[in-house]
Structure 1
Amino acid sequence: MPSPDEVLAFEALARCGSFTAAAEALACTKSMVSLRLKALEKQLGAVLVLRTTRRLALTEAGQRMLPHAQALRQSLLQMQPAVDSAQCAVEGPLVVSTYVSVSQLLAPILADLAREQPGLRLRLEVNNRVQDPIADVLDFCLRSRKVHDESLVARPLGWVEEALYATPDYLAAQGWPQTPDELATHRLIMDGSCLTLCRGAELHPLQPAPPLLDCNLYQNNLMLTLQGHGIGALPDFLVQPALVSGQLQRVLPGWYSDRWPVFLVHPYRQPMPRKYQVFLDFVLPRLRALLQPEHPAP
Structure 2
Amino acid sequence: MPKSNPVFQPLAPLAQAAGLEINRFAELQTFVQVAQLGSFSAAARARDVSPSAVSKIVARLEARLGVQLLRRSTRRLELTAEGEQLLESGKQLLTDWMALESSITQQGQPTGVVRINASSTTGQRLLVPLVSRLMETWPGLQLDLSFTDQVVDLIAARADIALRWGQLPSSDVVARRLGRTRQVIVASPAYLARRGTPQHPDDLAQHVRIGWNYPRAVPHWPFVVDGQKRAVSMGDILRVNDGEAMCALALAGAGLARLSLYHAWDDLHAGRLKGVLEDFNCGDLEPIHAVYVGKPGQLPTRTRAVLDFLQQHVDLSHAEIWPAALQGR
Q: Note whether the superposition's TM-score is higher than 0.5.
A: yes
Aligned equivalent of 1:105: 125
**Gap change, CA 1:292 and 1:120, over 3 Å in 2:** farther
Aligned equivalent of 1:34: 55
* 1:8 partner letter: Q
* Distance in 2 of aligned mates of 1:264 and 1:249: 30
Q: 174-183 or 123-132, which moves further after superposition?
A: 123-132
CA deviation string 1:253-280 (max 9, x = no partner): 2234865222345663499969957974
Q: 30-39 or 177-186, which moves further after superposition?
A: 177-186
Aligned equivalent of 1:287: 315
Deviation, 1:288, is 2.3
Aligned equivalent of 1:196: 221
* Distance in 2 of aligned mates of 1:36 and 1:269: 32
* Distance in 2 of aligned mates of 1:25 and 1:207: 74
CA RMSD of aligned residues (A): 4.2
Aligned equivalent of 1:173: 194
Could you tell me whether the CA contact under 8 Å between 2:220 and 2:232 is conserved in 1?
A: yes
Deviation, 1:283, is 5.6
CA deviation string 1:197-239 (max 9, x = no partner): 312643444443331x322322212212222222223222222
Could you tell me whether the CA contact under 8 Å between 2:178 and 2:311 is conserved in 1?
A: no
Q: 234-243 or 186-195, which moves further after superposition?
A: 186-195
* Distance in 1 of aligned mates of 2:201 and 2:165: 27
Which runs of structure 2 are paired with 1:58-207 in the superposition (5 Å)? 58-74=79-95, 89=109, 93-114=113-134, 116-117=136-137, 119-121=139-141, 123=143, 124-127=145-148, 128-129=150-151, 138=160, 140-147=161-168, 148=170, 152=174, 154-161=176-183, 163-191=184-212, 194-199=219-224, 201-207=227-233
* 1:268 partner letter: P
The yes-or-no answer on 1:215 pairing with 2:240 is yes
3-state DSSP of counterpart to 1:5: helix
* 1:263 equivalent among 289, 313, 324: 289
**Gap change, CA 1:55 and 1:236, over 3 Å in 2:** closer
Could you tell me whether the CA contact under 8 Å between 1:166 and 1:228 is conserved in 2?
A: yes
3-state DSSP of counterpart to 1:229: coil
**Gap change, CA 1:204 and 1:77, over 3 Å in 2:** closer
Q: State the TM-score, normalizing by the size of structure 2.
A: 0.68
* Distance in 1 of aligned mates of 2:230 and 2:91: 77
* 1:129 partner letter: V
Q: State the TM-score, normalizing by the size of structure 1.
A: 0.74
Percent of aligned positions that are identical: 25
Aligned equivalent of 2:263: 238
The yes-or-no answer on 1:228 pairing with 2:253 is yes
Could you tell me whether the CA contact under 8 Å between 2:164 and 2:290 is conserved in 1?
A: yes
Could you tell me whether the CA contact under 8 Å between 1:113 and 1:282 is conserved in 2?
A: no
Deviation, 1:116, is 4.5
Deviation, 1:292, is 1.0
Q: 46-55 or 1-10, which moves further after superposition?
A: 46-55
* Distance in 2 of aligned mates of 1:100 and 1:251: 25
* Distance in 2 of aligned mates of 1:47 and 1:199: 85
3-state DSSP of counterpart to 2:212: coil
**Gap change, CA 1:24 and 1:72, over 3 Å in 2:** farther
The yes-or-no answer on 1:47 pairing with 2:58 is no
* Distance in 1 of aligned mates of 2:86 and 2:186: 77
Unaligned runs of 5+ in 1: none
Deviation, 1:22, is 4.5
Aligned equivalent of 1:248: 273
Corresponding pairs, count: 288
3-state DSSP of counterpart to 1:177: coil
The yes-or-no answer on 1:10 pairing with 2:31 is yes
* Distance in 1 of aligned mates of 2:307 and 2:242: 28
* Distance in 2 of aligned mates of 1:235 and 1:228: 18
